[in-house]
Structures are given as C-alpha cells and as structure tokens.
Structure 1
Amino acid sequence: MATTDRQATTLALAHALSAAERGLAVIPLARTKLPALRSPHRDAPEPYTCRGECGRFGHGVHDASTDPARVRALFAAAPWATGYGIACGLPPHHLIGIDLDTKPDKSDTDSSTALRELALRHLFTIPPTVVVLTPSGGRHLWLTGPPHHVVPNSAGRLAPGIDIRGAGGYLVGPGSRTRHGTYTTAPGTSHLAPAPCPPALLRLLLPPPPVRRAGGGTAGGDGRGLVQFVLAAHRGQRNTRLFWAACRAYENGIGAALLSSLLDAARATGLTEREARATLASAARMTGHHP
C-alpha cells in the first residue's frame, strides 16, 4: 500500500506541475478530495482568519501556487497526497468550474438536462472547453471569467445538481486519485484551453446588483441593502451571499463600517461566527483590503 501511495503521490505531483505550467494554481489533496495539509492554527484557542500570512502551509486553497518550487514543497510536506486541487478565480485564467453532479438514486436530478434547459431559456451555448470526468459519473466544465467580476461558490443555486466553483473554491484536477476512483480528462478536450464563460451564463452566476432608486443612487447606500441581501440567504447561499455583500461593501468604501452588521446578519442565517469571519476576511483580501 505504501508503494502504491508513493506512486500516486508522484503522479499527482507530475500532473500538478503540468497544470502549474499552464498558469493554474494548485494544492495537494488527500484521497478524501480535501486539502492534504491541515491548518497550522487548528489547535488555537481563538478562531483564526489567517490565509497564509503566517508563512506556513495548511491554509487550503490559499496555499495554491503556480511556482514549481512551491508546488514541490507543498507535496513534500504532504507525502500522502494522491491528488491536487486547482484554485478557481485566480489570474490569469479566473477559472470557473461548472460541477454537474450525478445521483443515480434520484432520477429527478439530472444536472446535464438542467444545464441544457438553462442554456435554451437564457440563450447561451457552452463552447468547447476542458471537461473532467469524475469517478461518480459527473462532469466538471472549465470556463474562464473576466478579471473584474468575482464569481462566488454556490451549491444548487443555479439548478439542482449544479454546483459552481468560483473564487475561494477549487476543482479536483485530472489525474487525481481519490477513494472512489480517478479523475480523468474527457476524450477530445485535453488539448483545449478553458473557454470564456458565455455572458448570459455569467450573469446567472453573479449575485443580483443592488436595486436602483428612482431618483438615482442605490437603495440602502449606507449598506442596509447589503445586510438585507445576506439576511435573505437560504441554506446553500449563505457564504455566497455574505462573500458577495462584503466584496461590494469594501468596493464602496464601507467595508469596515459594515463589518459588524454583516457578521450579525450572517449569524442570523445560521453561519457560525468562525465561518462568517473567515468569509469576511476572504472578501477583504479579494478586494485588496486588510482583513
């Protein structure tokens, strides 16, 4: 078993380095598909929002890198890794992952059909792009987004069985070995570059903009509209809405002033304070502010 694991780690590193050469930032994954390196702050008495500022490994997707030396160091620190994750939302590709899940025991959840219906309804076509096949029979479609838009992660918001991997998320890279099998590139797509996300689909992936007042300006210019946007979140949307609202608050110069209200709103929807603070810190970094 040890020999098999070493072979799997060697192959995963090779695939990860190949992805890094293409400008895709990577991290090592365990067989569980989770980041292979545990947080260095896991035993801290107080919640930590560190995303790598401490200089140690173990910050999940925030460790992701395209630097071959750093990638090798990450895998050297996790010799049990058998796969790699590709961080979404980072330059130069600003990768967006469309995760089409399959649930054989639920015939009413056909993610491929749901995507086709969305495409027909909103008049877009998925261009030829990289497609990764999952061990469960699902598919990951790789698309790229514009640098000035932040596509958040979501689960089932677009349609049942369709999850979105955006800023702060990652995709399991092809060649990764997990408990359930190996991720592979679909035939005929390995030579392709990730295609640009169709504008009509991109609009569906972004949270709605603030409501405009009849006399100009935005409703709740003091941030009340953003707080209400978070409070209206349902399960599966809570982190996504909080992240988007915090990004808009920082971009509008009211991030620090609105932090406490956004935190209270997030807790009211069911997020723990630790989860909410981590999401708020991610939004601060994404918009170039100090958490």
Structure 2
Amino acid sequence: MATTDRQATTLALAHALSAAEHGLAVLPLSRTKLPALRSPHHHDPGPVCHGGCGRLGHGVYDASSDPVRVREMFAAAPWATGYGIACGLPPYHLIGVDLDTKSGTDAPAALRELGLRHRFTIPRTVVVLTPSGGRHLWLTGPPDVVVPNSAGRLAPGIDIRGAGGYLVGPGSRTDHGVYGTAPGTARLHPAACPPALLRLLLPPPRPARHPVPAHTDHGHGLVHFVLTAHEGQRNTRLFWAACRAYENGIGPALATPLTEAARHTGLPEHEARATIASAARMTGHRP
C-alpha cells in the first residue's frame, strides 16, 4: 500500500474514533464511498444476514461507536480511506439531507422552495461539504420515528439518508476528493428536524379502506387520499399526491380532480393550484 494510502487510512480511523466518542456509529469506507469490508455471505444463497453471524462485512449493520470495534473494523480493512456514519441510530437518530448540485439540479433552491411552501426553515446544524460541491445537512429525528431512505422523492437532487443508510463522514478521502465540514459548523450539534419537513420525509398514512368499484385506478386512489385529509395535513397530502401523479405520468389529467378534492377539504383553490404546480416543478415537469 502506498504511503499516501496508509496516511489516508490513519486519518480516517482518527476521524472515525472522534465521531464514535460523540456517540455516532461508524464503519470503514473505501475510496468509492462503499463499505470497505466485503460481505462474508457473498457466495451464500441463504437468508440475508444483518450481522447476527458475528463476522464483519455487513455494511451499515456493522456500524459501532465502540472504539475497540471501530479499530477492529479498520484493522480488517487497511485499504479504507474514509468512514460512514450510520443514520437512524441513538442517541441522535441522525437524518441526512443530501443536496446534490450535479446534473444541472439546484437542490438548495428546491429545499428553500419546499420550506416556503410548507413553512419551515433549516436550523443551524452540522453541514458537510462534498468534493462535487454538494452538501450534507445533519438533522435529528424523534426516537420513535423511522425515516426511510429516499432518492429524489422530495425534489430532484435531494436524497434522504435515514434508517439503514449512512453519510460519508468529514475527513474521508474518496476518488473525487475529501469531505469536510462547512466553516462554522464543525462544533455544532445536529439540530432537530423541523416538524413540517419531518412530515414530508415520512411515508403518508394509508387512507382508510372503503369498498371501491373494481375499475378504480391509481388516479382515483390519489384523489381519495386528498379527500380524506384533515386540517393540518391537507397541503402535505395534496403535494404528495400531485408528486406521485406526475411521477406516474398522470399529473396533467389529475390536476383538476386533485384541485377539486383539495377544495372539498377546505383548501383555497389558489393555494391548491400553487401546491400542484410546485409538485410539477419538483418532479421535473412543466406545470
């Protein structure tokens, strides 16, 4: 191994141990940002193992804040040049908001638009800068809430790292460069996720099941989902339903039925149309 790689591994271990001291569960990563240790079951057709076998190589399920365990993982992966921080685990129940700037997307602007639409602002928190010019916002969630991973569901270029996911830790070296904290944020604690944003990150509650005609299609289901919204969730449900409609190619056809459904729940027509237009833009369509 080249001297520079050994130095990168030593630095990655030091950063990982520092994160572990703060209660964050970590795991070694390769230069490709993937877990450095290969699964011990890659030839095993049996049931999926999440670490119950006691061996290393289960990706994020190996993540630990125990310094002895962390050193053991890095000793088994001397080629590691970075580390991952597992999301969704105590004490922070970390939620990562990954804002991408590649492929012509403007994720920060999309997040600001979401904030204006749903009345939330991102508090001061830890921000990690990526080599490609993106940024990771660290937020915390309630201990009894499981935030799923998603890619582009909120808006193009916005990925969410939740339970079962991980963030590349600051100080990690990859093929594209080094991750580092944004100036003035390294000593901050991860801030609580705004409730309005948290609602957007969670899967929508399933509407109550009612007998429906056999010919009811996905569009009717989305309209029904909006019709059953209560005060306080009308805009969120409408936005979610409109996003799904545009993603499934039926957005233009459902724009008017969704607007009427939202009006039926008490949402003003101009606000409903603005929400649907926002969903169209967020999914890459012209309103």
TM score, norm. by length of structure 1? 0.71
Q: For residue 51 of structure 1, what is the aligned residue in structure 2?
A: 50
Find the aligned partners of 2:90 and 2:11 in 1 and give their Cα distance: 25
- 1:132-281 alignment, distance < 5 Å: 132-212=128-208
Q: 2:124 aligns with which of 128, 133, 150?
A: 128
Q: For residue 32 of structure 2, what is the aligned residue in structure 1?
A: 32
Matched position secondary structure for 2:132: coil
Are 1:67 and 2:66 an aligned pair? yes
Can you list the C-alpha shifts for 1:47-84, whole angstroms capped at 9, x where unaligned?
43100000000000000000000000000000000000
RMSD: 2.0
Q: For residue 85 of structure 2, what is the aligned residue in structure 1?
A: 86
Q: For residue 12 of structure 1, what is the aligned residue in structure 2?
A: 12
- Residue pair 1:30, 1:80 contacting (<8 A) in 2 also: yes
User: Letter of the aligned partner of 2:93 in structure 1?
Assistant: H
Displacement after TM superposition at 1:211 (Å): 1.1
User: Letter of the aligned partner of 2:124 in structure 1?
Assistant: P
Find the aligned partners of 1:157 and 1:208 in 2 and give their Cα distance: 13
User: Letter of the aligned partner of 2:114 in structure 1?
Assistant: L
Displacement after TM superposition at 1:43 (Å): 1.3
User: Letter of the aligned partner of 1:3 in structure 2?
Assistant: T
Q: For residue 110 of structure 1, what is the aligned residue in structure 2?
A: 106
Find the aligned partners of 2:80 and 2:47 in 1 and give their Cα distance: 25
Matched position secondary structure for 1:61: helix
Matched position secondary structure for 1:38: coil
Find the aligned partners of 1:102 and 1:176 in 2 and give their Cα distance: 19
Displacement after TM superposition at 1:6 (Å): 0.6
Find the aligned partners of 1:14 and 1:176 in 2 and give their Cα distance: 10
Q: For residue 42 of structure 2, what is the aligned residue in structure 1?
A: 42
Matched position secondary structure for 1:32: coil
Find the aligned partners of 2:96 and 2:199 in 1 and give their Cα distance: 15
Find the aligned partners of 2:111 and 2:98 in 1 and give their Cα distance: 11
How many residues align structurally?
Answer: 216
Matched position secondary structure for 2:23: coil
Q: For residue 21 of structure 2, what is the aligned residue in structure 1?
A: 21
- Residue pair 1:41, 1:48 contacting (<8 A) in 2 also: no
Find the aligned partners of 2:194 and 2:60 in 1 and give their Cα distance: 26
User: Letter of the aligned partner of 2:52 in structure 1?
Assistant: E
Matched position secondary structure for 1:159: coil
Matched position secondary structure for 2:196: helix
User: Letter of the aligned partner of 2:56 in structure 1?
Assistant: F
Bigger Rg, which one:
2
Matched position secondary structure for 2:80: coil
User: Letter of the aligned partner of 1:182 in structure 2?
Assistant: V
User: Letter of the aligned partner of 1:31 in structure 2?
Assistant: R
Find the aligned partners of 1:213 and 1:5 in 2 and give their Cα distance: 57
Find the aligned partners of 1:53 and 1:191 in 2 and give their Cα distance: 35
Identity %: 80
Find the aligned partners of 2:47 and 2:76 in 1 and give their Cα distance: 22
Find the aligned partners of 1:9 and 1:38 in 2 and give their Cα distance: 17
Displacement after TM superposition at 1:178 (Å): 0.1
User: Letter of the aligned partner of 1:33 in structure 2?
Assistant: K
User: Letter of the aligned partner of 1:96 in structure 2?
Assistant: I
User: Letter of the aligned partner of 2:147 in structure 1?
Assistant: V
Find the aligned partners of 1:20 and 1:138 in 2 and give their Cα distance: 24
Gapped runs of 5+ residues in structure 2? 211-220, 226-240, 248-287
User: Letter of the aligned partner of 1:40 in structure 2?
Assistant: P
Find the aligned partners of 1:169 and 1:6 in 2 and give their Cα distance: 27
Q: For residue 233 of structure 2, what is the aligned residue in structure 1?
A: none
Question: After alignment, is 72-81 or 203-212 more displaced?
Answer: 203-212
TM score, norm. by length of structure 2? 0.72
Displacement after TM superposition at 1:212 (Å): 3.0
Matched position secondary structure for 2:152: strand
Q: For residue 262 of structure 1, what is the aligned residue in structure 2?
A: none
